Amino acid sequence: MKNRGLTIGQIGERTGLATSAIRYYEEEGLVHPFRTDAGQRRFDRSDIRRLSFVMIAQNLGFTIAQIREVLRGLPEGRTPSKADWARISKRFRRDLDQRITQMEALRDKLDGCIGCGCLSMKACALYNPADGIRRKGTGPRYLMGDSPD
């Protein structure tokens, strides 16, 4: 193995990600592997954690763009420390808290609201739950509990 580091295949094994997904994540700026003299990707061991973070964030419903933003909070030159990770995880925590609050509010309004006969959905709390759940743009929108099957 030339130039040391982990190959994309090895990273794939460790993380469970398809190599195609990892290449896509690089394209999207979520990982920055270096290259061998021959042009093959080589990853740092810390990239495993980085990609794991990406997977978790995906599971939490974050978009690639959002994850990229969050990962900007990590240092570039050195391997991120536990404190680095803890710092950026706070954003997740805030987001989760917000979502939970939102969902609880929705749940509490559900029975009274569905089928209530509101003529204007603009006045209905269920119609536009304070942004955040519904993604911008198109594409599949499933939240944590829903796998597309």
Is 110 in contact with 126 (CB distance < 8 Å)?
yes
SS3 call for 29: coil
Is residue 123 at the binding interface for a copy of itself, with CB under 8 A as the rule? no
Nearer to DNA, 40 or 52 (CB): 40
Is residue 119 at the binding interface for a copy of itself, with CB under 8 A as the rule? yes
Is residue 53 at the binding interface for a copy of itself, with CB under 8 A as the rule? yes
Is residue 32 at the binding interface for a copy of itself, with CB under 8 A as the rule? no
Nearer to DNA, 120 or 138 (CB): 138
Binding residues (CB under 7 A) for DNA: these are 1-3, 7-10, 12, 18-21, 23-25, 36-41, 58, 63-65, 137-141, 148
How much is the CA Rg of the chain, to the nearest whole Å? 20
Given candidates 5, 62, 67, 71, which one binds a copy of itself under the rule CB under 8 A? Answer: 62
SS3 call for 50: helix
Is residue 21 at the binding interface for a copy of itself, with CB under 8 A as the rule? no
Is residue 66 at the binding interface for a copy of itself, with CB under 8 A as the rule? yes
Give one word for 147, left, alpha or beta, with left for phi > 0 and alpha for psi -120 to 50: beta
Q: Which residue's entry shows tokens 């006045």?
A: 123
Nearer to a copy of itself, 4 or 37 (CB): 4
Is residue 16 at the binding interface for a copy of itself, with CB under 8 A as the rule? yes
Nearer to a copy of itself, 59 or 76 (CB): 59
Is 88 in contact with 73 (CB distance < 8 Å)?
yes
Write the secondary structure of 98-149 as one string of H (helix), E (strand) and C (coil).
Answer: HHHHHHHHHHHHHHHHCCCCCCCHHHCCCCCCCCCCCCCCCCCCCCCCCCCC
Is residue 106 at the binding interface for a copy of itself, with CB under 8 A as the rule? yes
